[in-house]
Amino acid sequence: MSIFLSQRARRVRLSPIAAAGQRANALAGQGRDIVALTAGEPEFDTPEAIKEAAVAALARGETKYTPTAGTAALRRAIAARYGRDHGIALTPADVIVANGGKQVIFEAFAATLDSGDEVLLPAPYWPSFPDIVRVNDGTPVILSCDERSGFKLDAARLEAAITPRTRWLVLNTPANPTGAVYRERELAALAEVLRRHPHVLVLVDEIYEQIRFGAAAPHWLNIAPDLRGRTLVVNGASKTYAMTGWRIGWGIAPAELVQAMTAIQSQVSSGASAIGQAAVAAALDAADQTFVQQGRLAYARRAELVSKTIPSIPGLRLLPPQGAFFAYVNCGGLIGHVRPDGRPIESDADLVDWLLEAEGVAVVDGAAYGLSPYFRLSFAVADAVLEDALQRIARAVAALQPAQAEVMA
């Protein structure tokens, strides 16, 4: 037991996704032939025009501290983008820019949670949510939403879960890790419940907003404009513009929350990088959004490939993703199967180990996302890499034997 770590530090874990990625890298470093489908980031490079905007900002001498809540140019560009895309009227004061959407979420919880406050988290969830809640003294309340509900929370579940201690509901659409996308009527039903509980805030994480394969649902702020006073929208440049390393995300929130988050950010990191903000402002303001459209088409094509191939592998099942770049594969049909070395597959983590050991495919087990038995694979990889990975998964699964009882039955 450490003598110097706080209770707070003991409540957080290193990201399980990063851990899975590191394991794959370590094996690759030993010369193993590894296909990693672990990372939640586009494999594309940041578009040239965005890089050029960053270089131009450097040339202009934009190398100083920036206003804590974000540069005027970027906050204006974000507000204008929501006006153009969704007809939502925002002013720069409604917007806070941070070092990634993750920091926005952290600051929002830091600004609003007291010890024991509850945060409703539909599972499967992005693993950072419960940890960010815990590190800020809150209590994650996990609401399991399996395939039968399309991995989505419904109004009755929400109503039943709300207590006087509930502070937030977290919605992530399109979702990591399932690719589920909430439809208009589903969001409207959830809004109806929230109207009856004015003490509950709602965090709408739309970081994968631009990566969806069907028609877009109307924006939450258009479905429930009356809830704007207690809504935090989280978005950023990481996924849309392949800018994960630039660390620029933003939140749209009521003035009181923006101010409290800004005060916290002023003592954590100050304003985000000047160069990064200039680059993202240029990305949002550009008339040419071809990169975003091409990305959407590429991910849609891969989603289709995965959705076609996975169900053809005996023992695996998949609810086709409708957005983002993840598939959340049900592997319940393989639990109880036996590896050629006689070891049983008792959990999704065992299967994930087997895929890595047998065929060098790295994916992340469902336990990390709060719903088993599943594994998440990222299809933010080149088509050829994905095709190879799917063949490897099929081979690894084919090498498993059904349990003896099943063979005899």
Ligand X SMILES: Cc1ncc(COP(=O)(O)O)c(C=O)c1O
Note the residues at the interface with ligand X (CB under 6 A).
40, 100-102, 126, 172, 176, 205, 207, 236, 238, 244, 249
Q: Which is closer to ligand X, CB of 309 or CB of 378?
A: 378
Q: Which is closer to ligand X, CB of 40 or CB of 321?
A: 40
Q: Which is closer to ligand X, CB of 18 or CB of 398?
A: 18
Q: Which is closer to ligand X, CB of 249 or CB of 276?
A: 249
Q: Which is closer to ligand X, CB of 179 or CB of 315?
A: 179
Q: How far is the CB of 292 from ligand X (least distance, A)?
A: 16
Q: How far is the CB of 60 from ligand X (least distance, A)?
A: 25
Q: Which is closer to ligand X, CB of 56 or CB of 292?
A: 292
Q: How far apart are CA 39 and CA 386, in angstroms?
A: 13
Q: How far is the CB of 176 from ligand X (least distance, A)?
A: 4
Q: How far is the CB of 398 from ligand X (least distance, A)?
A: 32
Q: How far is the CB of 306 from ligand X (least distance, A)?
A: 18
For 248, list phi and psi in degrees, rounded to 5. -130, 120
Q: How far is the CB of 380 from ligand X (least distance, A)?
A: 11
Q: How far is the CB of 343 from ligand X (least distance, A)?
A: 32
Q: Which is closer to ligand X, CB of 236 or CB of 366?
A: 236
Q: How far is the CB of 366 from ligand X (least distance, A)?
A: 16
Residue in the shown chain whose Cβ atom is closest to ligand X: 100
Q: Which is closer to ligand X, CB of 14 or CB of 405?
A: 14
